Structure 1
């Protein structure tokens, strides 16, 4: 442990970060925008300026990397951990089906029937936990069907991303740099075993009978005639998608609803004018970024940034959730405000490793909210029930208990 690390940084725990990272990161932004955090065994960039500076570096000073816990969870080669030609090849595998023009071709036919089906299951009940009953199921079903996993239940998809999340965020280390909770990787390992058991037969089928599913395209696109992509290249990126891409739309949807419920007048405006939904989503992912602090960069040489010495090979965690609360860019950042002056946020990252599914995720959220607000225009937060949030790597409402007149 660095002897120069202030006590207030050295004493922070993973449990505190998971419960509520905001107070700690607010102090980091004010006092140490780039700082070594022993609990994470890496440096943390907490302001928007510092995150952008590192994420957008195009001079070879930084490269994409995931934390040791992330690498332990996904394996290699994962797109988040690749650079140069390897990164270009992996993005060429996953990007084509996520381009806006391609998403526009299929997303309404994909997501709208799913959203309608789920909202019909509870719209006459007068109450629901929208995280468990709507936001997450719509999210995982939309991506699952896009990938070709129609045979996997929504509950199983949710179970997989929760188990992978436990593993990915098991980042705590002891003073010797070893994982402080090795058992924290067991849920992720269980999920990966199940995923392979389910996907192997599907990949066998798509090898000889290609279809329009994303995973079939991953196998075949860009490969020489008669060849398919190696599965050990595909699986780490399947795990990336089943974690990040599975949760991102659902948790962005939940945070949009939660934010609007704090401002009933703004919720009423959005319900009356669905054209405001995209703006509501943009503010929500700034207010509670689904991928709060889950991507990183590694320095390629010794350098000094704003007086902080970064030896070559230093890992810097990009805390985009913190950057999106940067007081230099946002007045009263902890407040959800549909009327906030639009300022670009970092909810989906920046630079070459920015999220490939930004447009797809936003469109799934838009469609989900359109269907929900049309079916239930008188939504309210359940009386006496506070909305709790959890997560440091990925963050969202734990539950969203709502009521309405039937």
Structure 2
């Protein structure tokens, strides 16, 4: 179907003027107060995206869960001609991220066959080994040390390179493309399109190399699946699947390590609790994911029919932005939602999304976060920020967000 980019606007001409999105981000880890305001007063709010298109921003837990799991909210429809988009440059390629069932089910099943819990469990000793080496190198430096390049960046990049079979020496190149790939307003439309092309060319060449000389890695396994039965995994799907795994496989974890460390260093009581009870590391990681996820919103959806949420009718063909970070702080779902609490009895947060598009790499991300954070606070018992929290800045105009630079001392 062809979707009018201003369908939502024409459907509610007398509604309030749309809010400019994204909202201004406070320093440090503080959440923009606009989200709490909207949860209380306008949980389904019209916003104007950087592309100039309009969307409905969802801020309450139940509405977000509906949008992430209800088939009336489509990812595939975002590829239709004229569909609303978030950024100025469209990402018009078919990947696991913008498929709907049954196509999504087919491709995800193939990836899940290789991206198994057993493979992740087998990686844990290597993750620990890499973490220990990075922390040892950090300890030899004169503080303050920027934790982002020292640990938060190096660890996830090293792990995803090993998992996928990507040359580690290419890390700076593909990381730069990834940052542009995930931009909304930080770079120009031309830079976005150039990064998309560069990543596609890079992965296509890497797929060709794996075909000639396969290894014991995930990308080689996916190439083998394609070559055995191209009907199950087409060449373009394979290439863009590789892009999705490479980009998402390190960018989100880079940001989450930094976010989590800042949260701990600015909450000394919880940090001391975790030092006294290191067995709480899994619960601590989940709580920090809930409070400070690496992205505010889930990927854009398009409604396939009229949908009512919180008393608002969202017309067919409308763009919808489910806010993961806002839903994670909804008092209707969580007691004292703005408090760091490692003893929560239940924590069904949306940091890894929900439903069909629940993050396939969540197990790997959790393993990296548990090992990195647990090892860091054990190795540096006097670790603390080297600057005031207010001096910490997040990169603006990005789909994911962390801390650009994180000076620490001990």
Of 311, 333, 339 in structure 2, the residue corresponding to residue 307 of structure 1 is 311
Matches within 5 A, 1:206-217: 206-217=210-221
Alignment match, 1:174: none
Answer with 297-306 or 66-75: which moved more.
Answer: 66-75
Of 73, 78, 86 in structure 2, the residue corresponding to residue 62 of structure 1 is 73
8 Å Cα contact 1:388/1:399 also seen in 2:
yes
> What is the count of residue pairs matched by the alignment?
386
Alignment match, 1:322: 326
Give the distance between the partners of 1:90 and 1:159, measured in 2 at CA: 27
- The Cα shift of 1:18 comes to 8.9
- The Cα shift of 1:284 comes to 0.8
Give the distance between the partners of 1:130 and 1:73, measured in 2 at CA: 33
Answer with 144-153 or 251-260: which moved more.
Answer: 144-153
- The Cα shift of 1:385 comes to 4.9
Question: CA 1:153–1:222 in 2, change beyond 3 Å: closer, same or farther?
Answer: closer
Of 241, 248, 254 in structure 2, the residue corresponding to residue 244 of structure 1 is 248
* TM-score under structure 2 length normalisation: 0.84
- The Cα shift of 1:63 comes to 2.6
Alignment match, 1:403: 409
- The Cα shift of 1:11 comes to 4.1
Alignment match, 2:47: 37
- The Cα shift of 1:64 comes to 2.9
Instruction: Provide Cα deviations, 1:32-74, integer angstroms capped at 9, x if missing partner.
Output: 22222123511111111111122222xx433334562479554
Give the distance between the partners of 2:126 and 2:167, measured in 1 at CA: 12
- The Cα shift of 1:322 comes to 0.8
Of 322, 334, 338 in structure 2, the residue corresponding to residue 334 of structure 1 is 338
Alignment match, 1:266: 270
Of 63, 77, 86 in structure 1, the residue corresponding to residue 94 of structure 2 is 77
RMSD between superposed Cα atoms in Å? 2.8
Secondary structure at 1:389 match in 2:
coil
8 Å Cα contact 1:249/1:361 also seen in 2:
yes
8 Å Cα contact 1:294/1:394 also seen in 2:
no
Instruction: Provide Cα deviations, 1:195-248, integer angstroms capped at 9, x if missing partner.
Output: 344434432232133222111122122653699954322232333233322212
Listed as ranges, the gaps of 5+ residues in structure 1 are 171-180
Question: CA 1:62–1:189 in 2, change beyond 3 Å: closer, same or farther?
Answer: closer
Give the distance between the partners of 2:231 and 2:40, measured in 1 at CA: 54
Instruction: Provide Cα deviations, 1:245-297, integer angstroms capped at 9, x if missing partner.
Output: 22122222222211111121321332343322111111111111113213233
Query: 2:394 aligned with 1:389, yes or no?
Result: yes
Matches within 5 A, 1:50-199: 50-57=63-70, 60-65=71-76, 68-69=85-86, 72=89, 74-105=91-122, 107-124=123-140, 125-166=142-183, 169-170=184-185, 184-199=188-203
Alignment match, 2:81: none
8 Å Cα contact 1:323/1:346 also seen in 2:
yes
Question: CA 1:384–1:151 in 2, change beyond 3 Å: closer, same or farther?
Answer: closer
- The Cα shift of 1:17 comes to 5.8
8 Å Cα contact 1:75/1:236 also seen in 2:
no
Question: CA 1:80–1:378 in 2, change beyond 3 Å: closer, same or farther?
Answer: same
Give the distance between the partners of 2:343 and 2:144, measured in 1 at CA: 28
Listed as ranges, the gaps of 5+ residues in structure 2 are 1-8, 79-83
